[in-house]
A and B are shown apart, each in its own frame.
Chain A
């Protein structure tokens, strides 16, 4: 992390559309949930490339950079994610990285999603688990 991140966080918060946060109940799609959870596993190193690499490695599927960033943008609009620009870097032409972090609303959304699944797992009349 770097020094100026606090200030940049503030500026960036302007573009978060708060009116939508009030009126829309966050509904998580499968891919959205995947992105959110991956960001939490990456901790402070969650930025575009690392997120994509992690998802591709874990899910063994190739994802499009356009789809990933569209999803990230929508999650930010819903107020489930926040982001800030990091400092300059050496390896990528001096361009800085945009780091992502889950917000309390994001945590609430994933935990609601989890409890819904747990409930369904518990209620399931079929034995779902295939792991012995």
Chain B
């Protein structure tokens, strides 16, 4: 038996290594074998050979050699800027050569990115909230988690008495107490102006950073009845910022002296005020300690910690205080600390001191942004993969010349990034166009500023790169994995397995568009419905005049003189738009909340409200409040069977015994968003804010001029504020107009994106099927037949989309719509049909524009090359 190494082991090893070069290793193994054979038995040497083969097979050395062997001879994993240059050049050339597709792609992505840009700009701005305080890093606010019985809620407020305890904690440097209840009407040359602000102590300015331009701030916040005015408020009252020492006269009596003036605070702050009033102005606290711990509306605490103070230690301390304090009290409160920069973006608390970005709203916004963005990305993916044939040769060649999978991947990602950056420019342009409208539709538009900052631009670019990655990853993976031989033989067809996914995604896109169109149709109808709704009262030919402090009686006498005015009534609020409420106790001392409106005795007849029982308020000189007129819901609540039974019953309202004199038929005193609730009319001239004039005229302009002339007699300083009731009522539903605008805009984006995607696919099919179409045409097919042949797949997709969308959208509609408005329209077949027709119409127009063109081409043009 000759002494040679085991052949089988070697063969297995060679097979395992494949193309990897292992000649040197086999040589080494042979050498080892001959070394071993000299000192050991042949069998033992062979066993050792097998063992070494086994060890090598699983070593990193073989793994690495196998990996290297896969690359071509000219392949290099080295990153080179020359290749990047080449990628960019090829990308630009490709974009330029296939202009049509580039435009479709870039436009689609630009449209898709706009909503996201709005979101990013908003979030970027909101994240700068309260970043201007010098000590900002160490300021915390205290929030309280209240448990009253079974009801739990988190409040942004915290009791002032807690401040004394906090001051004892070693980590606490300052405790700022803000009482945010300053809301006063200030007398002014032209009537009154309202002013809002905080009662604070001198340390407010030590903790928060605000710029005082004049006066002594410490003194201003220490002396009673002295204030710090912001410059804009100073301009409003005195038309100047040199206002030191001037006084403001409160409508309800009292004087405030301007002791300092400060620069207007930046809008990116959750603290918003016109004026800071010294806490010393407030009357001393007389409430019992229990009450102080229990009732603390409008009281806010801010803590400035020492530089090395720990939030955790403070929290522990707060927990201890809360446990000790509330052990004996009927309510339980836990305190928590919240960093000042977390307030604006943080969770929603009750009675938040300033504007707040509702987390839930942000989530909805994000979802909407993604619903618009992702279809756009998908279109890019879809069109790129479908057009693989055009690029297959290039990729085949690159791979043959040593291009590695990840390099091809990188090339296509680069290409996508180029196109997304182009789209970003377009998206920013659209962003500038829609920004004013967007700000208008936001409730708190005065506290945001969406100017383009460098930081925002940076986020935009990062976002565009991210979008490029999402849109480009699948084409890049696909092209990277292309087999060079098949690619060069032009066999690289878009993977048929992907067809189903693509169809599903296309259907999803159109379903989304359908949803938006349906929303638009229903919202428009809802708006019309609300305007023409029978509120249960008359709204025609009534002009509302704001009293603006003028005595109701005077207004009544003055306007009654006019020929165009038939009658005059007074009230406290505009019916159908707003109302107030109060607590009512009945004989059993059960109290419940009832909505109310203060009116005079002409009111019922002017608005044509029907009395079911009893009579109107009696005609007599008003001395004190004695009567109420209730509605049917009120009877239901107090379990009174018939209207007649209610007459004469008394209820305790705000300490007065009020007697029911009449019962009116239910009417919509509140917005249609809420169901009709228990309600009563009260009569108390002190609360009158509006005069209602029943008018009878064809010339509204002349009438209003006449009103103005008479108003000047009553109040020469203020302008007449009057409007038709019907118009004011319509304005109350203007939120629908905003909603219609938003939905319309989003719908426009969604439809544009899905139609662009479809257009891209149709153009591609028409191009690839050009030859087939020409041959059919030569054989006698009609233009109509051909157009139908090319279009039918896409029409089918749209019909599927609609069939898929109808049940989903209607379900969502039935779940959500009654929550938006209690009295709402119901979805009809016609709404669905109309939406479907609109979508199909747009789709057919898009498809046939391309297919018809292809079908019309002269077959000789296409076939002459064959």
> Real complex partners, A and B?
yes
Interface on A for B, CB 8 Å cutoff? 14-15, 17-19, 47-49, 64-67, 69-70, 72-74, 77, 85, 89, 91-93, 95-98
Contact with A along B70-82 (1 / 0, CB 8 A): 0000011111000
Interface residues of B in 42-60 (CB under 8 A from A): 52, 55-60
Residues in A with CB closer than 8 Å to B60 are: 69-70, 73-74
With contacts A66-B52, A89-B27 known, what are 19 further pairs, Cβ within 8 A? A14-B75, A17-B77, A19-B78, A48-B28, A49-B28, A66-B55, A66-B57, A67-B55, A69-B60, A70-B59, A70-B61, A73-B59, A92-B27, A92-B34, A93-B27, A93-B30, A95-B30, A97-B27, A97-B28
B26 on interface, CB distance cutoff 8 Å? yes
A95 in contact with B55 (CB, 8 Å): no
Q: Which of B23, B24, B34 contacts A47 (CB 8 A)?
A: B24
Count contacts between A and B, CB distance < 8 Å. 77
Question: Which residues of the partner chain B approach A14 to less than 8 Å between Cβ atoms?
Answer: 75-76
Asked if residues A65 and B52 are in contact (CB atoms below 8 Å), the reply is yes
Report B1-45 CB contacts with A as 1/0, cut-off 8 Å.
000000000000000000000011111111110110000000000
Q: A65-B52, A66-B56, A73-B61 are known contacts. Are A96 and B77 too (CB-CB below 8 A)?
A: no
Q: Does B64 contact A (CB under 8 A)?
A: yes
Q: Report B-chain residues with C-beta under 8 Å of the C-beta of A97.
A: 24, 27-28
B residues less than 8 Å from A64 (CB atoms): 55
Is the CB of B68 closer than 8 A to any CB of chain A?
yes
Give chain A residues whose Cβ lies under 8 Å from the Cβ of B62: 69
15 contacts across the A-B interface (CB closer than 8 A): A14-B75, A18-B78, A47-B24, A65-B52, A65-B59, A69-B25, A70-B59, A73-B59, A73-B60, A89-B27, A93-B30, A95-B26, A95-B27, A96-B27, A97-B28
CB-CB nearest in chain A for B67: A15
For B78, list chain A residues within 8 Å (CB): 17-19
A95 to B5, CA, bound (A): 14
Count of chain B residues near A, Cβ 8 A: 29
Contact B61 A19, beta carbon cutoff 8 Å:
no
Distance, CA A97 to CA B24, complexed state (A): 5
CA distance A33 to B814 in the complex (A): 74
Q: How far is the CA of A61 from the CA of B412 in the complex (A)?
A: 52
CA distance A83 to B77 in the complex (A): 19
Chain A positions within 8 Å of B65 at CB level? 73
Cross-chain contact A77 with B64 (CB below 8 angstroms): yes
Q: Which residues of B contact A72 (CB under 8 A)?
A: 61
Once bound together, how far apart are the Cα atoms of A66 and B340, in whole Å? 60
Known: A48-B28, A91-B34, A92-B30. A69 touches B77 (CB 8 A): no
- A93 CA to B34 CA in the complex, in Å? 11
- The closest CB in chain B to the CB of A48 belongs to B28
Partner of B24, one of A19, A65, A67, A85: A85
On chain A, the residues within 8 Å of B56 by CB distance are 65-66, 69
A85 partner residues in chain B, CB cutoff 8 A? 23-24
Residues in A with CB closer than 8 Å to B34 are 91-92
Instruction: Please state if B28 and A66 are interface contacts (CB–CB under 8 Å).
Output: no
Q: How far apart sit A97 and B25, CA to CA, in the bound complex (Å)? A: 8
Let me know if B55 and A48 touch, CB within 8 A. no
Residues of A within 8 A of B77 (CB): 17, 19
Q: Distance in Å from the Cβ of A42 to the closest Cβ of chain B?
A: 14
The distance in angstroms between the C-alpha atoms of A96 and B30, with both chains bound, is 11
Chain A nearest Cβ from B685, distance in angstroms: 84
Which A residue sits closest to B55, measured CB to CB? A66
Considering the chains assembled together, what is the distance between the CA atoms of A51 and B639 in angstroms? 103
**Docked CA distance A118–B29 (Å):** 38
**Which residues of A have CB within 8 Å of B25?**
48, 69
6 closest A-B pairs by CB: A95-B27, A66-B55, A69-B61, A66-B59, A98-B24, A70-B60
Minimum CB–CB distance from A98 to chain B (whole Å) comes to 4
Q: How far is the CB of A99 from chain B (nearest CB, A)?
A: 9
Give Cα A67–Cα B32 distance, bound, in whole angstroms.
16
Q: Which residues of A sit under 8 angstroms from B35, Cβ to Cβ?
A: 49
A18, A64, A69, A97: most-surrounded residue (chain B CB, <10 A): A69
CB distance from A1 to the nearest CB of B (A): 15
A66-B31 contact, Cβ under 8 Å, with A19-B79, A47-B24: no
Closest to B68 in A: A15
Which one of A72, A77, A95, A98 has the greatest number of beta carbons of chain B within 10 Å? A95
Complex interface: chain A residues within 8 A of B58 (CB):
66
B273: min CB distance to chain A, Å? 54
B357-403 residues with Cβ-Cβ distance < 8 A to A are: none
Report yes or no: A47 in contact with B28, Cβ–Cβ below 8 A.
yes
Q: Provide the residues of chain A in CB contact with B32, threshold 8 Å.
A: 49, 65
A47 CA / B52 CA spacing, docked (Å): 16
B residues within 8 A CB of A15?
A: 68
- Whole-angstrom distance from the CB of A6 to the nearest CB of chain B? 18
On chain B, the residues within 8 Å of A70 by CB distance are: 59-61
A91 touches B31 (CB 8 A): yes
